[in-house]
Structure formats: C-alpha cells, structure tokens
Amino acid sequence: MSILINERTRLLIQGITGGEGSFHARRMIEYGTKVVAGVTPGKGGQRLDSVPIYDTVEEAVAQARPNASVIFVPAPFAPDAIIEAADAGIKLIVCITERIPLHEALRVYHMLRLRKTRLIGPNCPGVISPGKAKAGIMPGEVFIPGPVGIVSRSGTLTYEIAAQLSRAGLGQSTVVGIGGDPVVGSSFIDILELFEKDPETELVVLVGEIGGRDEEEAAAFIAAEMTKPVIAYIAGFSAPPGKRMGHAGAIISGGEGTAQAKKEALEAKGIPVGRTPQEMVELAKRALRG
C-alpha cells in the first residue's frame, strides 16, 4: 500500500500554466500520475497538452473530480489558493510554494484544521508513492517501490537518502517532504501516524534538521505510540548557532534545536541516528532484519 497518494489519486494542479507548474505537471504525467485538471484564473478553456484548464477550483472539481491538489501559485496568492482548494472539497493539498509569510501560514493552518483538510507544505518537495503517483517536484527516477517510508523536513537530502536506499535494493512505500518552514500543515507526528497504520510500511526513516523541536516531539511519539522501527538522520551538525541554514525553520536559537540535541533526544528513545546517507542504509538493513 502507500499513504496519501496512490494510482487512484486524481490530481489537480493550481498554477499549471506558470513555468514551474507546467514543467512539473508534465513530469508528474510522465511518471504515471493521473493529472485530471489545472487551474489558472483567466486561462479557463485552454489545455496543457491533454489536461483541461479551469478558471476556478470549484469548476475543476465539478468537471474533472480531482481529490488532491498541488499548488505552484506565487507566494502572495498561495494562501488564498490553498483555501480555495479546501473550500471546493479537496482533502489533500500539497503546497510547493516557498516564502509564504509566517502570519499567512498560521491563518491557513488554522482554517484547514476546521475543514479537516490535510496540507503538506508549504515550501516542500511534495509526496511520492513509488511506481504509483507523485504530487510535487521529487525526481521520480531515484525512488523504487518497497517497504521503507520516509518523512523529511529536507528536500534534496531526501532524494540523496532515497537514492542510497534504492541502490541497496531498499524501496520506499511513500516519501513525504513536510517542508522546512516554521509552520507547516503536517508535522512529523501526523505522517508517522499514517505510516504506523500502513500494513506495507515496515520501517520509517525520519529526516530532520536543525531548528525547532519537531524531532524531539516526534521521538516522544515514536517511543509511546509506534510499533514499527524508526531510524533517523539529522542534518546540520556543523551549523553555527544563530545563523539560518537553508530553510526558514532551520535556525538554532538560545541553545535549542541543535543537531546534537536532536540526536540525543532520539537516541534516548531508542531511535538510531545516522551521520551519513550511507550509514542510513546500514541502519535500515539492520532494522529490517529485526
């Protein structure tokens, strides 16, 4: 099985006529994803190759019946695009857009909780269930189907670890990039719960980074609630305190959020932590052997 998306997912792409939206729409279609509609206000009635374009999400839902959306809308308009999709009944929204202001991200977060809509992102690479579907910008060629679930705050680091696992013959059930901003729609814990319930996910890889307390909270949840093995990788052991490193959420302040502190919190709960992608492969092999 897989979580969040599969071969039955009917995908809508908001911002499909922009440079990023059109490029990745074609990559998703090439991968085998059922992209059934796109939305760009003012472009209704046009097509991107065989994909019909609508002016609003409401029209797209009525005509094409999508059940998930990927958002490539520029940051000033992305929050309203997310709310528009939720109001139209879309239950899974993946927001690729970065640089959404914090107060807008908070507004969207609380509005979606009332609607029971799941948001992945913003500022994320998306979701892929290898061999079935992808919703986002992940390079499909580095993933293969298998029993390892991956949940990550990083983008390119996720691809590197997945590629190393794939080369070792350790395929993935679903890979979820939750995003690196301080406020994201789905936390590590939200995704870990889904992997725990998925019968075909045998091992979970958690990819964290400096900043915040998400990894520490995930460690407590794993120890208390999960029966499946979890291994972890933390990026940023050499990061200087007080300096932002890549993501808006990747900043150490007041001595909190260091890679070492996260490593210690995870290991205290019995979760092995790798220092390199290659070491993650060995930890994964060990965990799957039981």
Which of 171, 106, 138 lies closest to 33, judged by CA? 138
Nearest-angstrom CA–CA distance, 49 and 283 = 44
DSSP string covering 268-286 = HTT--EESSHHHHHHHHHH
Which of 22, 63, 56 lies closest to 39, judged by CA? 56
DSSP string covering 102-151 = HHHHHHHHHHHHHHT-EEE-SS--EEEETTTEEEES--GGG--EEEEEEE
| Chain-centre distance for alpha carbon 235 | 17
| Chain-centre distance for alpha carbon 193 | 14
* Residues 231 and 170: beta-carbon distance below 8 Å: no
Q: What is the dihedral of CA 51, 128, 121, 167, to 10 degrees?
A: -140
Q: Which of 24, 103, 110, 247 is catalytic?
A: 247
* CB proximity list for 26: less than 8 A, separation 6 or greater: 48, 49
Planar angle of CA 59, 20, 174, nearest 5 degrees: 80
DSSP state of 16: T
Q: Which residue has the tokens 């940023």?
A: 236
Joined together, the tokens standing for residue 230 give: 């979890």
Phi and psi dihedrals of 64, rounded to 5? -110, -10
Nearest-angstrom CA–CA distance, 70 and 289 = 37
**110 in catalytic set:** no
Question: Any idea which residues carry the catalytic annotation?
Answer: 247
